Structure 1
Amino acid sequence: MNSLAIASADFNISFGTAGAVQDMPAFAIEAERPADKAAREALLDRAMGPGRKRKSSEALRRGRLPAEGLALVARSADGAVLGTVRLWNVTLGAGGRPALLLGPLAVEPSVKSAGIGSALMRQAIAEARDLGHGAILLVGDEPYYGRFGFSAERTGELAMPGPYERHRLLALELTQGALDGACGTITASGRRKRNERTRAA
Structure 2
Amino acid sequence: MATLVPLSAIDPSMVEALLDTAFGPDRHARTAYRIRAGMEWLQPLSFAALDEDEYLVGSIQLWPIALTDLQGRPHPMLMVGPVAVMPDRQGEGFGKALMSASLGAITPDAALPQVLIGDEVYYSQWGFGAKHTGGWHCPGPFDRGRLLVRCSNPAILPSAGMLGPWGVGVETTNN
| Structure 2 unaligned blocks of 5 or more | 169-175
Cα deviation, residue 133, structure 1? 2.2
How do residues 1-201 of structure 1 correspond to structure 2 at under 5 angstroms? 26-33=1-8, 35-93=10-68, 94-130=72-108, 132-173=110-151, 175-177=152-154, 179-189=156-166
Cα deviation, residue 68, structure 1? 4.4
Q: Per the alignment, do residues 74 and 130 of structure 1 end up closer, same or farther by CA in structure 2, a change over 3 Å counting?
A: farther
Cα deviation, residue 51, structure 1? 2.4
- Residue deviations 1:69-122, cap 9 Å, x none? 122111234432110010110111122111011111110122112100011111
Given that 1:159 and 1:184 are in contact with CA atoms closer than 8 Å, whether structure 2 keeps it comes out as yes
* Counterpart code for 2:19: L
Paired positions, count: 166
| Structure 1 unaligned blocks of 5 or more | 1-25, 192-201
TM-score by length of 1: 0.75
Q: CA RMSD in A?
A: 2.1
Distance in 2 between the 1:66 and 1:124 partners? 12
Given that 2:62 and 2:79 are in contact with CA atoms closer than 8 Å, whether structure 1 keeps it comes out as yes
Greater fraction of residues in strand: 2
Cα deviation, residue 35, structure 1? 4.1
- Residue deviations 1:162-181, cap 9 Å, x none? 111111100011x3246433
Identity across matched positions, percent: 32
Distance in 2 between the 1:76 and 1:36 partners? 16
Distance in 2 between the 1:135 and 1:45 partners? 28
Given that 2:129 and 2:148 are in contact with CA atoms closer than 8 Å, whether structure 1 keeps it comes out as yes
Q: Per the alignment, do residues 67 and 139 of structure 1 end up closer, same or farther by CA in structure 2, a change over 3 Å counting?
A: same
Distance in 1 between the 2:119 and 2:10 partners? 31
| SS of match in other structure, 1:46 | helix
Given that 1:67 and 1:190 are in contact with CA atoms closer than 8 Å, whether structure 2 keeps it comes out as no
Distance in 1 between the 2:79 and 2:167 partners? 10
Distance in 1 between the 2:22 and 2:150 partners? 24
Given that 1:66 and 1:87 are in contact with CA atoms closer than 8 Å, whether structure 2 keeps it comes out as yes
Q: Per the alignment, do residues 130 and 82 of structure 1 end up closer, same or farther by CA in structure 2, a change over 3 Å counting?
A: farther
